[in-house]
Amino acid sequence: MNRVNLKPFVMLRKDDGFTMIELLFSLMILMTTSLFVLQLFSIIHTQMRSIDKLHPKEWEVFTMQMKQEVRSSKVQDVMGNKLYLLSGEQLSSIEQYEDKVRRRVNGKGHEVILQNISEFQVEKDGSVIVLNITDKAGTTFSRRFHPFLRHVTKVDE
């Protein structure tokens, strides 16, 4: 008599070894798990490597913002390693605060415009503003900003 197996997964419970389906199923689970673990290690490694470094895209965004701010300001001045920019009625200051470069407007606020900084130096070379920034990894970035409007008055006048 030919018996029809009404429970197709009964064969998975045999005691005499693995079947091909069980082997493929366990291989699929192993491959899926290893794929996620490898991706996780890759993300963690990237995050650990870039903790102290200044990201190049962050530097580019910072320089574009600074160029726009310097060019739109009427007066630019440097005092005590701080950059002061006067545009209209607003006096903006760019300065280092702990490991960040922050922007303040009229002495208020705390807008972080750059982070992971160990040293921030600003100086004025004629009308040109020179920024030198060193990140925590020791890489130095430098940029010169040329204002459109040249004015001889100081901020404190």
Q: What is the pLDDT of residues 79-91, one digit of tens each?
A: 988 999 998 889 9
To which residue do tokens 């996780």 refer?
Answer: 40
**Residue 49's pLDDT band (cuts 50, 70, 90):** low
66: exposed, middle or buried (Cβ count in 10 Å: 0-12, 13-18, 19+): buried
Report, as an integer, the average pLDDT of 127-153. 83
pTM score, two decimals?
A: 0.62
Most confident of 2-6, 110-114, 151-155: 110-114
Q: Do the beta carbons of residue 136 and residue 129 sit within 8 Å?
A: no
Q: What angle do CA 122, 124, 125 make, to 5 degrees?
A: 130
37: exposed, middle or buried (Cβ count in 10 Å: 0-12, 13-18, 19+): exposed
pLDDT of residue 13: 57
Closest CA to 86 of 17, 16, 156, 9: 156
pLDDT of residue 94: 93
**Residue 2's pLDDT band (cuts 50, 70, 90):** low
Q: Do the beta carbons of residue 81 and residue 97 sit within 8 Å?
A: no
Q: What is the pLDDT of residues 94-135, one digit of tens each?
A: 999 998 999 999 989 899 999 889 999 999 988 899 999 998
In the predicted structure, residue 12 carries a pLDDT above the cut 70: no
